[in-house]
Amino acid sequence: MSGAEFGQQFINALSLGSIYALVAIGLAMVFSILRLINFAHGEALMIGAVFAVLFAERGLPWPVWTLLAVAVTVLGGLIVERVAYRPLRGAPDVTLLLTSLGVSIGLQNGALLTFGSQPRAFPTPEPLLGQILLPGAVQISRVNLVTVLTAISLMVVLTWFVTRTQTGIAMRATAENAMAARLMGININTVIVVAFLLGAALAGVAALLWGARVGRVEYSMGFIPVLKAFVATVIGGFGSIPGAVLGAYILGFGEIFLVALLPDSLTSYRDAFIFSALILILLFRPQGILGSTEPEKI
Amino acid sequence: MAAVVARQRPVRARGHDRRQIVLAIVVLVLGALGAWYADANLNGYRQQLFILCAIYAVVAVALALTSGFTGVFSLGQIGFLAIGAYVSALLSMPPAGKQPMLLPGLPEWLATFDSSGWHPQAALLFASLVGGLAAALIGALVGAPLMRLSGNYVAVATMGFLIIVHSVAVNWDDVTRGARGLSQIPTSTNPWAAYVWAAIAVYVALRLRNSPYGRAMIASRENIIASRSVGVNVLRTRLLAFVVSAFLTGVAGSLLAHQIGTVAPSGFYFATTFTVVIMVVLGGMGSISGAVVGAIIMTLTPELLRPIEDGVSLGPLEFGALYGLSNIIIAIGFILVMIFRPQGLLGDRELGLALLGRRTPQQDASGEDITITPELVSAADAANPDSRG
């Protein structure tokens, strides 16, 4: 691998990891507070991308449809929380997990029904098309650059939010110990709603970036990113937000460089390698790299 | 040891045993009548539905074994279905379909293995047993480490297993023909074969649950520490359930492959996983008859909803075909069940016993631990005079 090629792959991996991170943060945030593995989080991504296409097809300018798409995603996240998850407060972990699977199937088929089974092209805005030439003959696509920059700035804002604002601190307190947080007068429902809101907003942005990356939008598109984001949260440690981000970048780099370095005959087994790694982590370090959740082991 | 838990059973179960045997015979005869009727009188489509119900009953009962009895929630069940289907398909396909040109990765003995001269049911039985054993073997290898995990973690790890199996099925072109899948499998699964395997699955699950092993499974589900303190080897108990469940699922995979005549990776992934999970959750996680009922409901519902999917007009809106509608209805129904009746239709109870208005023995085993003393035995006998055989 030449230097230029390495640089390209590096940015590519950074960009892929950034998208995974945006999705994984939402998963980790909700998990840390509710102990819910939210499979339906991938559907937030799908909804964002689908509405981006629908709004763009109406001829709206891109700054408007991107914002609208994120807004709809947030609305969707809040509705799902209110309708499907809130009635299950206090239910066993597996009940929550299964419900989220149900939500995921329902939303996916809702999209199949209304949006159709045919993939449509993602209306990537004009300024994002094309390549940028960096010194050293490193060519990177604008989409990748924008992805990395957007993700990093959002993460900076999120860090500020959870460490500096009262709501953010309340969220961390609830994740630490919901009972104690409640006794301190924190409204758990507000915290949960905020977690879903932030998670959906990040997924909405991730939807736009993912759409621009893969170039097409279809009803089943949320599945792969959420699985990967999920692996990322396991690598980093269930429920740890910095862990989820770290895990996402490890996964992004792992995936890109695995494909670049493996012999051709094995590259298509990429997912098998990734999920074998997942199982090994669950067995030997179930708390992940940064997690502190008590591992459930016998 | 595990026998401590088991000793509770004779105290009050004998009266049930007799009823259970009568009930079992009634159910068996009814099922056999159904199989006979399906075999002799039903048209092709309905016959296939009968077979499908029976096959999914096997899968659902197998999943109830791990998820319901031991509380180890597996999302990897369909991986075993795939293994059983592929292994049995490779055995049963005629050598013409397995030539090196088509499947270069097959070892010679398998490529030339020919059961087309056998009685079709003997060939099916052989392929199903081998498919089931292959699934059980892999189940033992995978389960040995994974059964150490609990709760969410085991769900995630078994899901990882499913993804790995799927990835291998899609990519191992030389043996599985990738996404195109295998075809030319003799379609020898008839209502009888499917019914007999469903009956075997139910019988094995019932016997297992009422055995010391089954009591150990339920005890470890209810409270790991308490069950260990009375000597239950939790890992071994879970592994037993997982391997038996893998075997039955592998057999079901073989029946499925020999029903439709083709296997492709897309049939063994999340959609199927979700369907089977709904079957078990709907019926009641700890209930074998619940799993069977769930399997029948979930096999027939999409068929009943199909006419709606084919097209409706609502006022000004014309929907040509509403693909996905039945899944939406099922998903909403499932969420409602999770919210309003998370224990499913039957919970831990069995259908027959629920109809008889009796608690199953298991509800006692899952309650407080009782030390069996002579006083307790005589008190129980006094309360239930016909329990002394």
Which A residues, 16 through 35, put their C-beta within 8 Å of a C-beta on chain B?
A: 35
Q: Using CB atoms, pick whichever of A88, A109, A110 lies closest to residue B338.
A: A88
* CA-closest candidate to residue B133, choices B182, B57, B80: B80
Q: Using CB atoms, pick whichever of B151, B224, B335 lies closest to residue A99.
A: B335
**Domain contains B384:** no
* CA-closest candidate to residue B92, choices B125, B58, B134: B125
**B277 and B56 Cβ atoms separated by less than 8 Å:** no
Q: What pLDDT, on a 0 to 100 scale, did the predictor assign at position A64?
A: 92
Q: Using CB atoms, pick whichever of A102, A113, A268 lies closest to residue B334.
A: A102
B215 phi/psi in degrees, rounded to 5: -65, -35
Running DSSP on this structure, what letter comes out for residue A85? I
User: What does the pLDDT average to over A143-171?
Assistant: 92
User: What does the pLDDT average to over A160-172?
Assistant: 91
Which string of b and e fits A210-232 if b means at least 16 CB within 10 Å? bbbbbeebbbbbbbebbbbbbbb
Whether residue B164 and residue A223 make contact (CB cut-off 8 A), yes or no, is no
More confident residue, B30 or B52: B52
**Domain contains B110:** yes
Report CA-CA distances (Å) from B46 to A41, A205, B35, B38. Answer: 39, 48, 11, 8
**Domain range enclosing B188:** 2-266
* CA-closest candidate to residue B39, choices B296, B200, B89, B31: B31
Strand partners, B322: none
User: What does the pLDDT average to over A7-18?
Assistant: 90
Q: What pLDDT, on a 0 to 100 scale, did the predictor assign at position A72?
A: 96
More confident residue, B110 or B256: B256
**Domain contains B198:** yes
Is the predicted pLDDT of residue B62 greater than 60, yes or no? yes
Give the residue from B67, B77, B78, B164 with the most A CB atoms within 10 Å of its CB, the best one to mutate.
B164
What SS3 class is residue A81? Answer: helix
Q: What pLDDT, on a 0 to 100 scale, did the predictor assign at position B148?
A: 86
Angle at B24 between CA B197 and CA B50, to 5 degrees: 40
CA B182, CA B160: separation in Å to the nearest integer? 24
pLDDT single digits (tens) A236-246: 887 788 889 99
Of A1-15, A131-145, B241-255, the range with the highest mean pLDDT is: B241-255
What SS3 class is residue B78? Answer: helix
* CA-closest candidate to residue A103, choices A182, A41, A22: A41
The H-assigned helical ranges of A136-177 are 142-164, 166-176
Of A277-286, B114-123, B128-137, B358-367, the range with the highest mean pLDDT is: B128-137
CA B351, CA B286: separation in Å to the nearest integer? 12
Is the dihedral angle over the CA atoms B125, B131, B132, B134 positive or is it negative? positive
Domains in chain A: boundaries = 3-284
**Domain contains B375:** no
Which A residues, 87 through 106, put their C-beta within 8 Å of a C-beta on chain B?
A: 87-88, 91-95, 97-99, 101-103, 105-106
Is the predicted pLDDT of residue A186 greater than 60, yes or no? yes
* CA-closest candidate to residue B338, choices A229, A224, A106, A222: A106
Beta-strand pair B312-314/B317-319: antiparallel
Q: What pLDDT, on a 0 to 100 scale, did the predictor assign at position B60?
A: 95
User: What does the pLDDT average to over B133-146?
Assistant: 94
CA A274, CA A252: separation in Å to the nearest integer? 11
On the 0-12 / 13-18 / 19+ scale of CB atoms within 10 A, A259 is middle
User: What does the pLDDT average to over A120-144?
Assistant: 83
**Domain contains B321:** no
**A10-14, A228-232, A248-252, B283-287: lowest mean pLDDT where?**
B283-287
More confident residue, A294 or B18: B18
**Domain contains B305:** no
Angle at B296 between CA B292 and CA B302, to 5 degrees: 145
Report the chain B residue with the minimal C-alpha distance to residue A96.
B338
In this prediction the pTM is 0.84
Mean pLDDT over all residues of chain B? 81
Question: Among the CATH numbers 1.10.10, 2.60.40, 1.10.3470, 1.10.150, which is that of A3-284?
Answer: 1.10.3470
User: What does the pLDDT average to over B6-32?
Assistant: 64
Residue type (1 letter), B197? W
CA B47, CA A159: separation in Å to the nearest integer? 60
Q: What pLDDT, on a 0 to 100 scale, did the predictor assign at position B318?
A: 58
Residue B320 confidence class, pLDDT cut points 50, 70, 90? low
Residue B389 confidence class, pLDDT cut points 50, 70, 90? very low
Which string of b and e fits B238-277 if b means at least 16 CB within 10 Å? bbbbbbbbbbbbbbbbbbbbbbbbbbbbebbbbebbbbbb
Domains in chain B, number = 1
**Domain contains B146:** yes
**B131 and B254 Cβ atoms separated by less than 8 Å:** yes
Categorise residue A60: left if φ over 0, alpha if ψ from -120 to 50, beta otherwise: beta
Report CA-CA distances (Å) from A17 to A3, A22, A111, A150, A210. Answer: 21, 9, 26, 12, 11
B305 touches chain A (CB under 8 A): no
pLDDT single digits (tens) B335-385: 998 888 887 777 777 766 555 544 444 444 444 444 444 444 444 444 444
Percent of chain B with pLDDT over 90: 28
pLDDT single digits (tens) B236-295: 999 999 999 999 999 999 999 999 999 999 889 988 998 899 899 888 888 888 899 999
Q: Using CB atoms, pick whichever of A103, A223, A238 lies closest to residue B335.
A: A103
Is the predicted pLDDT of residue B13 greater than 50, yes or no? no
Q: What pLDDT, on a 0 to 100 scale, did the predictor assign at position B130?
A: 95
Categorise residue B33: left if φ over 0, alpha if ψ from -120 to 50, beta otherwise: alpha
Whether residue A295 and residue B163 make contact (CB cut-off 8 A), yes or no, is no
How would DSSP label each residue in B317-375? Answer: EEES--TTHHHHHHHHHHHHHHHH-TTTTTTT--HHHHHTT---HHHHHTSS-----HH
**Domain contains B112:** yes
pLDDT single digits (tens) B167-225: 999 988 888 888 888 888 888 888 889 999 999 999 899 888 888 888 888 888 888 88
| CB neighbourhood size of B15 (10 A) | 15
Residue B4 confidence class, pLDDT cut points 50, 70, 90? very low
Q: What pLDDT, on a 0 to 100 scale, did the predictor assign at position B96?
A: 82
**A163-167, A203-207, B341-345: lowest mean pLDDT where?**
B341-345
Q: What pLDDT, on a 0 to 100 scale, did the predictor assign at position B387?
A: 40
More confident residue, B331 or A94: B331
User: What does the pLDDT average to over A150-173?
Assistant: 92
Q: B107 is written with which tokens?
A: 């070892």
Q: What pLDDT, on a 0 to 100 scale, did the predictor assign at position B360?
A: 46
Report CA-CA distances (Å) from B337 to B184, B279, B283, B374. Answer: 40, 12, 10, 43
CA B289, CA B352: separation in Å to the nearest integer? 8
A156 touches chain B (CB under 8 A): no
Mean pLDDT over all residues of chain A? 88
A79 touches chain B (CB under 8 A): no
Q: Using CB atoms, pick whichever of B146, B160, B324 lies closest to residue A112.
A: B324
Q: What pLDDT, on a 0 to 100 scale, did the predictor assign at position B250?
A: 97
Chain-centre distance of CA A133, in angstroms? Answer: 29
Q: B236 is written with which tokens?
A: 């071994």
CA B215, CA A160: separation in Å to the nearest integer? 52
Percent of chain B with pLDDT over 70: 81
Q: B45 is written with which tokens?
A: 């489509």
Percent of chain A with pLDDT over 90: 44
CA B194, CA B59: separation in Å to the nearest integer? 12
Is the predicted pLDDT of residue B9 greater than 50, yes or no? no
Contacts of B153 in chain A (CB under 8 A): 282, 286, 295-297
A165 phi/psi in degrees, rounded to 5: -95, 160
B26 touches chain A (CB under 8 A): no
Report the chain B residue with the minimal C-alpha distance to residue A297.
B149
Q: What pLDDT, on a 0 to 100 scale, did the predictor assign at position B225?
A: 86
Q: What pLDDT, on a 0 to 100 scale, did the predictor assign at position B15?
A: 54
| Contacts within 8 Å (CB) and 24+ apart, B169-177 | B169/B82, B169/B86, B169/B265, B169/B268, B170/A268, B170/B265, B171/A268, B171/A269, B171/A272, B172/B105, B173/B105, B174/B103, B174/B104, B174/B105, B174/B106, B175/B90, B175/B103, B175/B105, B175/B106, B176/B86, B176/B265, B177/B102, B177/B103
pLDDT single digits (tens) A78-108: 999 999 999 988 888 888 888 998 999 999 9
A224 touches chain B (CB under 8 A): no
